[in-house]
């Protein structure tokens, strides 16, 4: 039987932390709480090991960024997800540079958090067990479809592509390609939400609200806001090398290139499915 993912929740708002732990425990995780940075460090030292730490940034005493540094000293392979509010977005990105796996904005949708915890746990398993990786090529496993949009399209076009996916097919990003399928950049859910929030600071916007109200997006083209993505993998690359890149750059999906053109995406969960088949 698969062991539960052990999660340490660190937040100085005790009711929030306790309620979140209760929800995660009902979802099959083993979640415990700490209410400040000092308790978190002690829990990592003496708590028997955690797969993932979910860490608030703004806490009295030892803040989240400092706590992250202390956790990484004692458990460098433990994935840390940062929770940050609008006012501390800069702290969230700073934490990413200091080794955090990813960050989520408060208030955080529970489904987004659950998926991020699972994703971080999978990346940690690869880090801890590199000898189990099969030496196979990217082109030898099934590739996911590449969600394409073009630079001249509107932000609403990217939203439409993302919202079509549900469940396992749900998309967190789309890739911007030119007319010859050469990669130009990437647009994420967070990018679209940030644009809508900038235009409507008076509203509390979540992804579900934006999907129901695409008119909240500004009239911009994707070329105006997309971020360049230079991380991709050749179809003839080793699967292990592609997985290294994904972990290094905190990617859940990575484009696959053949003769300069995007032919699909490799997904982190597929690495694990392939490993399971090899080890059976």
Of the pLDDT bands very low, low, confident and very high (cuts 50, 70, 90), residue 195 is very high
Same domain, 115 and 47: yes
* Residue 276 confidence (pLDDT): 47
Q: Average pLDDT, whole number, for the chain? A: 82
As a whole number, mean pLDDT of residues 171-193 equals 86
The CATH number that applies at residue 239 is: 3.10.580.10
* Residue 166 in this model has a pLDDT that exceeds 50: no
Same domain membership, residue 117 and residue 147: no
Of all residues in the chain, the percent with pLDDT exceeding 70 is: 86
What confidence score (pLDDT) does residue 54 get?
95
Q: Is the same domain home to 124 and 145? A: no
158 falls within a domain: yes
Place of tokens 């900038």: 198
Q: Give pLDDT tens digits for 80-90.
A: 998 877 555 56
Is the model more confident about 52 or about 129? 52
Of 23-37, 50-64, 98-112, 263-277, least confident by mean pLDDT is 263-277
User: Could you tell me the pTM of the whole model?
Assistant: 0.52
CATH number, domain at 56?
3.40.50.2300
As a whole number of angstroms, the distance between CA 13 and CA 36 comes to 9
Domain encompassing residue 223? 138-279
Res. 258: pLDDT tops 80: yes
Same domain assignment for residues 116 and 237: no
State mean pLDDT over 70-76: 90
pLDDT of residue 155: 94
Q: Is the dihedral of CA 3, 169, 265, 214 positive or negative?
A: negative
* 18 and 101 housed in the same domain: yes
Q: What pLDDT, on a 0 to 100 scale, did the predictor assign at position 2?
A: 53
Q: Rounded to 5 degrees, what are φ and ψ at 234?
A: -65, 150
Q: What is the pLDDT of residues 230-248, one digit of tens each?
A: 688 888 888 778 888 887 7
| Cis upstream peptide for 60 (omega within 30°) | no
Residues 44 and 90 both lie in one domain: yes
Residue where a domain terminates, one of 105, 128, 151: 128
Closest CA to 12 of 69, 80, 75, 63: 63
The answer to whether residue 133 sits within a structural domain is: no
Q: Residues 118-137: pLDDT tens digits? A: 888 877 776 665 544 555 78
Task: Write down which residue in 72, 106, 128 finishes a domain.
Answer: 128
- Domain shared by 97 and 28, yes or no: yes
Please give the pLDDT value at position 259. Answer: 78
pLDDT at 127: 64
- In this model, does residue 167 exceed pLDDT 50? no
167 lies in some domain: yes
Positive or negative, the Cα torsion across 67, 69, 73, 79?
positive
Domain count, the chain: 2
Does the pLDDT at position 145 exceed 60? yes
Structure token digits, residue 52: 């993932």
40 and 91 both lie in a single domain: yes
Check residue 220 and give its pLDDT: 93
| DSSP conformation class of 133 | -
159 and 79 part of one domain: no
Say whether both 275 and 163 belong to one domain: yes
Q: Is residue 1 part of a domain?
A: no
Do 161 and 114 have their domain in common?
Answer: no
């Amino acid at each position: 039987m698969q062991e539960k993912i052990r999660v340490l929740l660190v937040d100085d708002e005790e009711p929030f932390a306790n309620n979140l732990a209760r929800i995660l425990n009902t979802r099959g995780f083993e979640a415990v709480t700490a209410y400040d940075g000092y308790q978190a460090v002690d829990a990592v030292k003496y708590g028997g090991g955690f797969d993932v730490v979910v860490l608030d940034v703004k806490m009295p005493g030892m803040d989240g960024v400092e706590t992250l540094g202390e956790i990484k000293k004692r458990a460098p392979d433990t994935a840390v997800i940062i929770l940050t509010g609008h006012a501390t977005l800069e702290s969230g990105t700073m934490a990413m540079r200091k080794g955090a796996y990813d960050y989520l904005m408060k208030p955080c949708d529970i489904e987004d958090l659950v998926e991020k915890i699972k994703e971080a746990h999978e990346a940690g398993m690869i880090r801890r067990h590199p000898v189990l990786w099969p030496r196979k090529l990217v082109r030898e496993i099934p590739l996911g479809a590449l969600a394409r949009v073009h630079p001249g399209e509107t932000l609403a076009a990217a939203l439409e592509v993302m919202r079509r996916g549900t469940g396992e097919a749900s998309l967190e990003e789309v890739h911007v390609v030119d007319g010859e399928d050469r990669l130009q950049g990437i647009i994420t859910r967070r990018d679209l939400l940030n644009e809508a929030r900038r235009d409507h600071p008076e509203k509390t916007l979540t992804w579900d609200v934006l999907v129901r109200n695409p008119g909240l997006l500004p009239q911009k083209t994707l070329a105006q806001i997309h971020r360049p993505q230079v991380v991709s993998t050749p179809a003839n690359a080793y699967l292990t090398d592609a997985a290294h890149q994904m972990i290094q750059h905190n990617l859940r999906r990575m484009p696959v290139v053949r003769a300069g053109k995007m032919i699909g995406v490799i997904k982190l969960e597929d690495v694990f499915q392939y490993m399971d088949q090899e080890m059976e």
